Structure 1
Amino acid sequence: MSQPSTVPVVEHAAARKRYEILVDGRRAGLTAYRDRGAQRVFYHTEIDDAFAGQGLASRLVQEALTDVRNSGKRIVPVCPYVAKFLKRHEEFADLVDDVTPDVLRWLDTEPA
C-alpha cells in the first residue's frame, strides 16, 4: 500500500520577508520580497532541485500573490518567474505595478 502524498503548504515567513513552500515539513522553495510602502516587490524565487518539476513554484507564487491581494498591497514583479507567472494569470493584473528604474535603485539600496 502506498503512503498518501503530503500536500505542499505555503507559509508567509514575514520576519524573513519571504513566502516558503514546505513539503513534508521541509522547505522546498521560497519567493522573497521587500515592502516599499504599499508595494510588495518580489525579487527572487527558487525551488530546491530535489523538488523541481512538481509545479511548486507556481503554487508558491499563486498563494503569495493571493496573500498580497488580501493584504491590500500591490505587486511589483522584479523576479523573472513572478513576472512570467503574472503574464499567464491575468486575475492578478489589477494589482501589478510596473518595474521602474526607481524601484530597481531602491531595491539595490534597501537592506535585506
Structure 2
Amino acid sequence: MTQPPATPPTVERIDARHRYAIQVDGSTAGFTAYRDRGDRRVFFHTEIDEAYAGQGLASVLVREALDDVRRAGLRAVPVCPYVAKFLKKHEEYADVTDPVTPEILEWLDGQLKR
C-alpha cells in the first residue's frame, strides 16, 4: 500500500495538452484526457500512475474535472470507461452528462487520428 500524500492533491486543467492533471506533493500522479466539441467535453482516457494506486485519486480527479465542466457551462461525454463508471455512481452529474454516440466516437477517432 502506498503512503497517503502529505498535502491534499490538487487538480489543474492544462488546455494545451487537453487534460486535467492531478498533483500529489508536487508530482503529477495522473490525468484525464479530453477533446472539446462545441459545448461538449469528451473524456476519452484516464490514468493514475501505479505509484499512486489505491488512494482514490482517479475519483478526485474526475470529480474536479466534472465540476470544472459544470462551472464552464459545458456538457461531459464519458467515452473513457472510468469516467463512465464514475458517472453511474454519481448521479449528481447527470445534468451535465450527454451519452456517447457513434457520431461522437467517429469524431473522436478523427481528432486522435486513430
Instruction: Identify the residue that residue 57 of structure 2 maps to in structure 1.
Output: 56
In structure 1, runs of 5+ residues without a counterpart are none
Supply the distance in 1 between the matched residues of 2:112 and 2:56 (Cα, whole angstroms): 31
Matched, 1:68 2:69: yes
Supply the distance in 1 between the matched residues of 2:26 and 2:10 (Cα, whole angstroms): 8
Instruction: Identify the residue that residue 26 of structure 1 maps to in structure 2.
Output: 27
Deviation at 1:111, TM superposition (A): 4.5
> Which consecutive segments of 4 or more residues in structure 1 shift more than 4 A?
none
Instruction: Identify the residue that residue 5 of structure 1 maps to in structure 2.
Output: 6
In structure 2, runs of 5+ residues without a counterpart are none
TM-score using structure 2 length? 0.93
Alignment root-mean-square deviation, CA? 1.2
Q: Secondary structure at the match of 2:6?
A: coil
Q: Secondary structure at the match of 2:70?
A: helix
Deviation at 1:19, TM superposition (A): 0.2
Supply the distance in 1 between the matched residues of 2:87 and 2:73 (Cα, whole angstroms): 17
Matched, 1:37 2:38: yes
Q: How many residues align?
A: 109
